[in-house]
């Protein structure tokens, strides 16, 4: 089974013949099984060269880079092997046609709202007022005819949703509001770290399909970002990231000791990142009986299935319906 590998230390990634090695700052060498790697995530200061990149490209391994404060910096994205000009053309058509684009933008939001409400209903006695507020905002989606207006509704819904975190989580993780750049408290740091992992996971699964990750529908496409991963993240963040955060905090797997602060920026320290990522991998490999495929499917594979559903929608095969967890 292919797995993600995470590197936190300073050092160098290098290739020797067809083997991948990590050499740390003290010169200690560790071999990494390239045949078993799906993605490499680099959190430390790591040098790479073209020979290494050629090896990663041969095996289709994506290399994701993060800076000191865990912000996603970019990805080495190997040459695409699963390409279809027809699919990309049809994907572009759905962006250029206003009604087609609005349908998909709304769909991503409906999927995300379903999972937000699913989380809130687990604490219904404390969140009833917030649930009603979100349902009231969600009722406006169908009558909204402009993307900026949809984004405005999404922003108000998420503002309401984040208020509930103070009653769903341990009191030491209470926060006033969502702050992204930079996160100013432990809960914001957790959300930012988890969301960043979500974006790269979606990008990695998208790479295995014929989708163009730069052509998006809810988030405006722009240069230098894979905006379609942001669209799909609307569905998966409350389903995967937020539930994992609740589990880590409420079960005291992650506590305040797992955070550092520098110049007003709060971020997970190395021990905290390792704990989060270990549970993140477990979450992605958790399986659910798929009611259509009639077999167990991992959360990671649900992301790829969502990509396949989009492709079928673009080529006129099956109307896209967003994932709404039934379990």
In the annotated binding site for Mn(2+), the residues are 154, 219, 234
Distance CA 36, CA 57 (A): 14
Residue 264 · residue 182 · CB < 8 Å: yes
Q: Map residue 276 onto helix, strand or coil.
A: helix
Residue located via tokens 């740091």: 189
Distance CA 204, CA 136 (A): 35
CA 180 to chain centre: 15
Distance CA 241, CA 243 (A): 6
**Separation in Å, CA 32 to CA 6, 10, 20, 38, 274:** 11, 16, 5, 12, 18
Instruction: Report the run of H or E that residue 245 belongs to, with start and end.
Output: helix 242-250
CA 288 to chain centre: 19
Residue 49 · residue 177 · CB < 8 Å: no
**Separation in Å, CA 86 to CA 91, 99, 104, 210, 229:** 9, 20, 19, 10, 20
What torsion do the CA atoms of 122, 123, 124, 130 make, to the nearest 10 degrees? -110
Q: Which residues are annotated as a binding site?
A: 154, 219, 234
Distance CA 194, CA 261 (A): 18
Instruction: Report the run of H or E that residue 59 belongs to, with start and end.
Output: helix 50-59
Distance CA 78, CA 308 (A): 20
Alpha helices in 122-226 (DSSP H): 124-138, 147-163, 165-168, 186-207
């Amino acid at each position: 089974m292919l797995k993600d590998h995470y590197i936190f230390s300073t050092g160098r990634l290098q290739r020797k013949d067809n083997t991948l090695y990590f050499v740390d700052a003290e010169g200690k060498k560790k071999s990494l099984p390239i045949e078993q790697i799906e993605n490499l995530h680099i959190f430390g200061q790591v040098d790479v060269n073209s020979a290494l990149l050629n090896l990663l490209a041969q095996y289709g391994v994506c290399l994701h880079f993060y800076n000191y404060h865990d912000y996603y910096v970019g990805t080495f994205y190997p040459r695409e092997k699963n390409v279809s000009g027809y699919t990309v053309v049809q994907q572009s058509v759905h962006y250029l046609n206003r009604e087609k684009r609005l349908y998909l933008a709304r769909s991503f939001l409906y999927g995300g709202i379903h999972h937000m409400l699913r989380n809130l209903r687990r604490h219904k006695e404390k969140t009833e007022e917030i649930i009603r507020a979100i349902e009231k905002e969600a009722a406006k989606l169908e009558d909204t005819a402009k993307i900026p207006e949809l984004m405005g509704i999404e922003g108000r819904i998420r503002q309401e949703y984040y208020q509930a975190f103070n009653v769903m989580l341990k009191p030491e993780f209470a926060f006033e509001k969502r702050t992204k750049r930079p996160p100013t408290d432990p809960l914001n740091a957790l959300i930012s770290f988890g969301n960043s992992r979500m974006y790269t996971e979606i990008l990695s699964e998208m790479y295995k399909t014929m989708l163009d990750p730069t052509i998006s529908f809810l988030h405006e496409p722009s240069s230098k970002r894979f905006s379609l991963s942001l669209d799909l993240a609307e569905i998966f963040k409350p389903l995967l990231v937020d539930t994992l955060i609740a589990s880590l905090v409420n079960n005291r797997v992650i506590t305040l000791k797992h955070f550092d602060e520098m110049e007003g920026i709060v971020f997970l320290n190395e021990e905290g990142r390792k704990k989060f990522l270990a549970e993140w991998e477990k979450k992605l490999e958790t399986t659910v009986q798929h009611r259509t495929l009639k077999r167990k499917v991992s959360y990671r594979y649900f992301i790829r299935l969502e990509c396949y559903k989009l492709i079928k929608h673009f080529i006129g095969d099956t109307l896209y319906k967003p994932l709404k967890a039934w379990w």
